[in-house]
Structure 1
């Protein structure tokens, strides 16, 4: 019986010993400093991860603007001049973004008017900083080059930011819109179109060289032969405080054109841009 009692006392002492040891360690300054260090490390790690996420997500200024002037001239057997002016303006809130991009193009060939084109649009994006966002669009244009007296379109759709970083952005969008076109020398038409756009922006060498690519494909929903597509490349090199040297290549196709006009237009331009908004 004494042996059993002695064994019970030894076992109880063995079980309670860590508890008293832990209580003693807990009251020591070294233990408190260790706990404080662990808590501070956890806080620092959380703040660091938050800052890294903020750095990887591009911050969009509330008001963005950009002015672009480009073109080219050629003298010789063919005297050719082409000038283009464009303004890009966007107003951003946390949930809604408004954008407009009016542009005017003027061109002559052998002193004859070739281009006198005007385009203006208004785009509204809802939840534009989310992965998936909604947008509405409207546009008005006329074009001497393509014999368009007036074109009006309006619609809306969904967009998806596939990748959204400071130096690399990739997005795709799809919309449905109604379009009506009045030609100078052709039967007018109205149609519903589907529009798919792929947009890619990226920068190299710490933003010393900036690239923008986008492609549109816009078939009519009721006439398979009535399609439009556009592919564009822009390369910009910063010069000084928002001023950039700019090169652009634009390839545009439209199946319905007036007589004596080609379906495809390929244009290259050189010029400058200035503002706090990256190229569109």
Structure 2
């Protein structure tokens, strides 16, 4: 079902996007900075008392016609019936070089997860990518495939060091005041395909005046191997407000 949905979105973007804006038109000597900040939350009381707050911060630097540096960070904090459930921190830097439709990526990542009992996870990697479509409005259909080295320390004192293949599908489309974006990862270990992660983040944004927007987000993650007492699946559906600016 998820694969069919992603394929449908890809074909929709390729069909609707005008052919005349297929490549980045930024000047050779310019630097562009795009910032986006998002805050979402949920609160409920009754049979189950739950509080959830999330924030996502992203800054993307592009230099000339060939270089980019996206920096992203997210933090999730949640309690259920007074007990801490979610305290999730994720930081990523993905510098890249692009020429035409070709992309070359590097990756540096750091993660903490109370849900999965992870005290620290560090990732380093690199690999190629290809943009089937991209334009100056941020609309894009692209894939990438990185080889990453990953070290994870768990709360029970164990640690895991592995090499993963990280395949990513990115789809982004905007028209008028509506923006739809979806990023999907599949990350199996290269030595044990039973050890894998799958995740999808889909966001629908409705633009408001003064650079604000209302965001509806669906975030699903599955990790095949977790420590005892932790759940392999996690799903969050949130509504919040985002602010973005370009300089």
TM-score by length of 2: 0.85
Q: 2:87 aligned to 116, 121, 125, which one? A: 116
Q: Write the distance in 2 (CA, Å) between the matches of 1:160 and 1:66.
A: 24
Q: What is the total number of aligned residue pairs between the two structures?
A: 223
Q: Which whole-Å deviations, capped at 9, do the CAs of 1:86-131 have from their partners, x for residues lacking one?
A: 210011102211111011111110111111121111111012x520
Alpha-carbon distance between aligned partners in 2 of 1:273 and 1:149, rounded to the nearest angstrom: 29
RCO higher in 1 or 2 (8 Å CA, sep ≥ 6)?
Answer: 2
* Conserved 8 A contact 2:115-2:231: no
Query: Higher strand fraction: Structure 1 or Structure 2?
Result: 2
Say if 2:44 is the partner of 1:74.
yes
Instruction: Check whether the contact 1:81–1:108 (CA below 8 A) recurs between aligned residues.
Output: yes
1:222 to 171, 191, 195: 191
Aligned-pair distance for 1:58? Answer: 5.2
1:85–1:105: 8 Å Cα contact kept in structure 2?
A: yes
By how many angstroms is 1:249 displaced? 0.5
Match of 2:180 in 1: 211
Within 5 Å, which residues of 2 pair with 1:84-163?
84-94=54-64, 95-127=66-98, 130-163=100-133
- Where structure 2 has 5 or more consecutive residues not aligned to the other structure, the ranges are 1-17
Cα separation, 1, equivalents of 2:116 and 2:123:
17
- From the two aligned structures, give the one with the greater helix fraction: 1
What's the CA shift for 1:261? Answer: 1.4
Residues of 2 paired with 1:111 and 1:65: CA distance? 34
Confirm or deny: 8 A CA contact 1:186 1:258 kept in the other structure.
no
Matched with 1:191 is 162
Instruction: Tell me what 2:150 maps to.
Output: 179
| Separation in 1, partners of 2:236, 2:19 | 40
